[in-house]
Amino acid sequence: MTLEDLLRLFHVLGATVLFGTGAGIAFFMVMAERSRDPRIITHVGGIVVLADTVFTATAVVLQPLTGYGLARAIGWPLDEGWIVLSLALYVFTGLFWLPVVWIQIRLRDLAKRAVAEQTPLPAAFDRLYRIWFAFGFPAFFAVIAIFWLMLTKPDIRLL
């Protein structure tokens, strides 16, 4: 196995982890919220925060490193249009992901407080959840666009 093969493997695995963990986190958080049970939301929210820390954050760091190494190994110039657009979409995705991580922590903590106080979820929970939910869509579609760019490598002319 060549260095290029290893870099390609780790880059694809990282992309898979990012997409799969993101989709899984979204699914489980939506299902927990639908229960409206603060105990379930606290438990699932804790797992979601842990998964984002262990899997997503690790892949977020490694993805550009493996991408850079792969581009260098193959000989793709970093100013290639599809690479520049991929990186821009990666940053765009991150701008939605970072607040989502903070919101997930807050959602978990608000549910935990509702459990401790034996009260329903507060209105702040619902407001934050709507923002969390809405932020998932642009990030999700940006990641799909990155996959498309990586697979098709279209000839995109930049200035």
Contact 33, 104 (CB under 8 A): no
pLDDT in tens, 37-74: 999 999 999 999 999 999 999 999 999 999 999 999 99
The type of residue at 97 is W
pLDDT reported for residue 158 = 86
Q: Give residue-wise pLDDT tens across range 100-159.
A: 999 999 999 999 999 999 999 999 999 999 999 999 999 999 999 999 999 999 999 987
Q: Residue ranges per domain, the chain? A: 3-152
Helices (H), 36-122: 38-51, 57-74, 81-117
- At residue 78 the predicted structure's pLDDT band, cuts being 50, 70 and 90, is very high
pLDDT score for 155: 95
Mean pLDDT of 87-107: 96
